[in-house]
Structures are given as C-alpha cells and as structure tokens.
C-alpha cells in the first residue's frame, strides 16, 4: 500500500496519534498497519481507491471479543488470509445471507447452526469461497469447525464460518490444522484493522466502523468490518460483514435488528448487479456490558434499545457505503436518490435500475452529465413514471425538467460538478411520496481489467 495513500486514509488516526505522542517519528500503530498491509503481489488491485474514506476510526476493544489473523497460504502469498474471532460464552449470534439459489458451503453451515443461536468463534478465510465445491465443500466446513472447536474447547456448532474468493476450487481446510490452534493462543482484543485486512480480496482498503452508545446506564460499543468490492448487489450486498457488540441482546432481538438494518444499508448498495454465492452478514452480541449495568434486551422493540438501534444501523450503513466506495475499479461514489415515486418499493426499483445501468455508470466514469441515460434507466425499470413530470439533477443542478432539458442549466457548471469524487443523481418523479436512496460507483476500464484477469 502506498504510504501516502495510507496516511491520507488514516488521517484522523495520525492526528490522534501525534496528539498523544509528541515524537515526530511514525507511531507504532501506523508502522504496524503499513507492515501488515498485503504485499503488492498478493493484491488484485494495486492502488487504494481514490474514494477510500480519509477518516478511519480507531477501533476500540469490545469486551468478550478477541481476534487473531494469520497467513495460512490458502491462495495468496505474503499476506494474512485467515481471521479468527473468539467470543466469550453466552454470545448471541444473528445472520442474514445471500438469496442465491447456489450458496456456498459456509453459508449453508451458518444457516444450519444459527438456529441454536450461540457462538464461540468466527473463522473467515479469503482467497477461496468454498462455493460450488460439492461434498468436498461440506467436508471442508466441518473440518474447519472441528479444528477451531478443538482449539477453543467448544462445540463445532458454535463455530461460524465465512469464506471469500474464487468459486469452484476445493478449499483445503487441512491448512487450518495447527494454524487455528496457534491463533487461539494469540488472540488479542484490539486487532480490528488487521482483522479487516485479512478478509480482503479485491478490496483496496480495509473497511471498519464503530459506534459507542448508551444502553441504559452503561456505555456499549458496536464494531463492524466488511469486505466487498465486486459481485455486489442487493439481497445481501457485500460479500462478508461482521458486527460485534458487548450489549446484552438476545438472539431473537439481534436477528430482528439485523434484518431491519439490512434493507437500507447493504441491500441498498450495488457495484455490478452481481450477487455473490457467499454473501454473509453476522452479528455477535457478547453481553459483557451487563457487568457494567447494561440491561438485558430480549425484544428489538424495547424502547431502551432506541439509541442502540440507530447506532447499530449506522455501523451497517457506514460499512455498506465503504463497499460502494471500493467498488472494483471505481473512481467515484454515486448516490441515487429517487423521490416522488408511487411507493418506497417503486423508488427502490427505479434507483436500482439507474444504479445498475452500465450506460449511466460509464457516463459518470466519463464525467458526463448524460441525463438521457438516466431517463432510459428510469424508463426500463417498469415502474410508474411519467416522462413529462420527470426532473433530474446532478449534484444539485437540475438538468432536466418536465419531459425535456432544463433550459436554465449551465453546461459548464454541470461539467465542473461532474468532476467531483461523489456524484448525486436525483430523480424526481412527481407522482407520489415514495422515496429511496441507493449507493453505487462508476464503471471504469479498471473494473474490466480486474475481472478479466482474476481466476487465470
């Protein structure tokens, strides 16, 4: 990773660090991050996305969660590719998964184990998705869980699994033998950035988010990490995301929180309209904050959970936006807002039609306010729309109104606006009160380069 890009990305942390450390030398934290970033030969993309967030939070520890990463040599050389998260006894787990009819073996494993609702460990590997691997794939999930369970002295059914990477190649889970035991001895509470790095594939930056919020009279923390980049579309958009909290939330309530938060976060993000076989979002609640007086929550509708719910959904939204920012080859973050639709569902369908249109996305890559293509994408969505009531804006500049080009708009002003790193396309339908928002990115030659030479 380019050190300048790393510095830019980690600006807030550098400021925090120098505030605490008078020495002008690089802080330990930055050195650690730099040294642990994947080596160039292990990266699919060579440069950090220009859309990478400049403010990366310091990730606090979460009571009841410890992390370790390692290089098991699954596919990549010279970088970490396994994450082990170990949770205290009594941790509740909830999950939402891909709607693919051909899910990966780990997705089937997690779905099956979710019913008992308790988790002691999460094992994630990058480089191999263990998808479409038949019986071998099922055997690999079982072996991985068995190895982890032995190392942690828990039941294999308490071990949750996720894999990301190439599809159709058998995953050699025997590579975890020994590795997971060593990791279990090395777990630490503050390794969040390295954890987020270990699960990357074509991502150009690790994705983390955190919030701290009051629950009753106790402070509780929510940490999340995600990996995404390509094969991103609704029905559980990002490939893998994991959220952890020390709040004492029962499994049923946690599941409800998760489902409620997915619709406008991960399911409102699309990179290329392709849905992975491996999409997994898991949430773990250790309940450790009960020791500080946090009330035990059994229902998502509990009024004491209001601030927590907002923060929890903010973590999901933050991670989902980072996935869009790191869309493969993306140079621009694109926000599509549709209002005046006949319903929110209709607005979503139209917004997704715009967000997934290759012609809209290539126009944005070309910094061209080609609203004609937005009209096309609205028209093809199949949802109620009246051409002669339609208005379209780019970054607040209305370019089309009532069925024709807005006569008042200034081409030079719009051209300048299109050079911004974030483009907001607003479509006002003028029919009703339905409104929705989705995030995507532009479609560049780099996307083709990344995906035209991945497996080979």
Catalytic residues: 238
Eight-state DSSP code of residue 86:
E
Residue 56 to residue 208: CA distance in whole angstroms: 8
Residue 13 to residue 18: CA distance in whole angstroms: 8
Of 15 and 445, nearer to a second copy (C-beta) is 445
The least CB distance from residue 112 to a second copy, in Å, is 15
Helix axes 105-114, 134-152, angle to 10 degrees: 50
- Outline where 155-246 has alpha helix (H): 179-186, 192-198
Q: Which of 159, 222, 378, 439 binds a second copy (CB under 8 A)?
A: 378
Of 73 and 273, nearer to a second copy (C-beta) is 273
Residue 453 binds a second copy, judged by CB under 8 A: yes
Taking CB under 8 A as the binding criterion, the range among 21-29, 59-67, 129-137, 246-254 that sits at the site for a second copy is 129-137
Residue 430 binds a second copy, judged by CB under 8 A: no
Residue 63 to residue 117: CA distance in whole angstroms: 19
Taking CB under 8 A as the binding criterion, the range among 135-143, 198-206, 300-308, 310-318 that sits at the site for a second copy is 135-143
Q: Which of 277, 280, 286, 395 binds a second copy (CB under 8 A)?
A: 277
Residue 412 binds a second copy, judged by CB under 8 A: no
Q: Which of 375, 397, 425, 438 binds a second copy (CB under 8 A)?
A: 375
Please, which residues have CB within 8 angstroms of residue 280's CB and are 6 or more apart in sequence? 95, 96, 97, 98, 106, 107, 110, 162, 236, 239, 240, 241
By rule CB under 8 A, what string of x and - marks binding of each residue 218-237 to a second copy?
Answer: ------------xx-x-x--
Contact 56, 208 (CB under 8 A): yes
Residue 366 binds a second copy, judged by CB under 8 A: yes
Residue 340 binds a second copy, judged by CB under 8 A: no
Residue 385 binds a second copy, judged by CB under 8 A: yes
Q: 3-class DSSP state for residue 47?
A: coil
Parallel, antiparallel, or unpaired for β 65-70 and 422-428?
unpaired
Residue 363 binds a second copy, judged by CB under 8 A: yes
Residue 100 binds a second copy, judged by CB under 8 A: yes
Q: Which of 58, 146, 190, 368 binds a second copy (CB under 8 A)?
A: 368
Q: Which of 260, 384, 430, 432 binds a second copy (CB under 8 A)?
A: 384
Q: Which two tokens stand for residue 290?
A: 């009960």
Strand runs labelled E in 205-332: 207-215, 218-227, 240-245, 280-285
The least CB distance from residue 206 to a second copy, in Å, is 23
């Amino acid at each position: 990773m380019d050190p300048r890009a790393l510095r830019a990305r980690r600006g807030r942390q550098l400021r925090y660090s120098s505030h605490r450390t008078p020495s002008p030398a690089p802080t330990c934290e930055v050195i650690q991050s730099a040294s642990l970033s994947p080596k160039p030969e292990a990266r699919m993309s060579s440069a950090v996305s220009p859309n990478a967030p400049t403010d990366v939070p310091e990730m606090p520890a979460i009571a009841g969660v410890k992390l370790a990463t390692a290089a098991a040599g699954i596919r990549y050389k010279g970088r970490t590719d396994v994450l082990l998260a170990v949770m205290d006894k009594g941790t509740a787990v909830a999950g939402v998964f891909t709607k693919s009819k051909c899910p990966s073996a780990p997705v089937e494993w997690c779905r099956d184990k979710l019913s008992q609702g308790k988790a002691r460990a999460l094992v994630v590997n990058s480089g191999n998705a263990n998808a479409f691997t038949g019986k071998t794939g099922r055997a690999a999930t079982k072996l991985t869980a068995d190895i982890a369970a032995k190392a942690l002295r828990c039941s294999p059914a308490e071990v949750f699994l996720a894999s990301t990477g190439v599809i159709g190649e058998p995953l050699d889970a025997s590579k975890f033998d020994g590795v997971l035991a060593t990791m279990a001895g090395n777990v630490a509470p503050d390794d969040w950035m390295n954890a987020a790095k270990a699960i990357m594939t074509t991502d150009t930056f690790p994705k983390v988010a955190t919030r701290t919020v009051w629950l009753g009279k106790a402070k509780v923390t929510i940490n999340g990490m995600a990996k995404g980049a390509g094969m991103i579309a609704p029905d559980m958009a990002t490939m893998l995301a994991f959220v952890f909290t020390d709040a004492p939330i029962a499994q049923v309530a946690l599941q409800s929180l998760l489902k409620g938060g997915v619709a406008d976060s991960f399911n409102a993000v699309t990179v290329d309209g392709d849905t992975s076989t491996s999409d997994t979002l898991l949430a773990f609640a250790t309940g450790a904050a009960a020791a500080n007086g946090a009330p035990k929550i059994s229902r998502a509708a509990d009024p004491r959970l209001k601030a927590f719910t907002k923060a929890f959904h903010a973590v999901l939204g933050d991670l989902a936006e980072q996935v869009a920012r790191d869309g493969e080859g993306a140079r621009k973050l694109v926000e599509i807002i549709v209002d005046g639709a006949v319903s929110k569902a209709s607005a979503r369908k139209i917004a997704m039609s715009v967000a997934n249109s290759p012609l809209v996305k290539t126009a944005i890559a070309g910094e061209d306010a080609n609203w004609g293509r937005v009209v096309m994408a609205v028209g093809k969505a199949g949802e109620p729309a009246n051409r002669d009531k339609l208005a379209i804006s780019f970054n607040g500049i209305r370019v089309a109104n009532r069925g024709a080009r807005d006569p008042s708009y200034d081409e030079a002003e719009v051209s300048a606006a299109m050079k911004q790193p974030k483009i907001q396309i607003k479509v006002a339908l003028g029919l009703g009160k339905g409104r929705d928002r989705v995030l995507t990115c532009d479609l560049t030659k780099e996307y083709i380069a990344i995906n035209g030479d991945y497996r080979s």
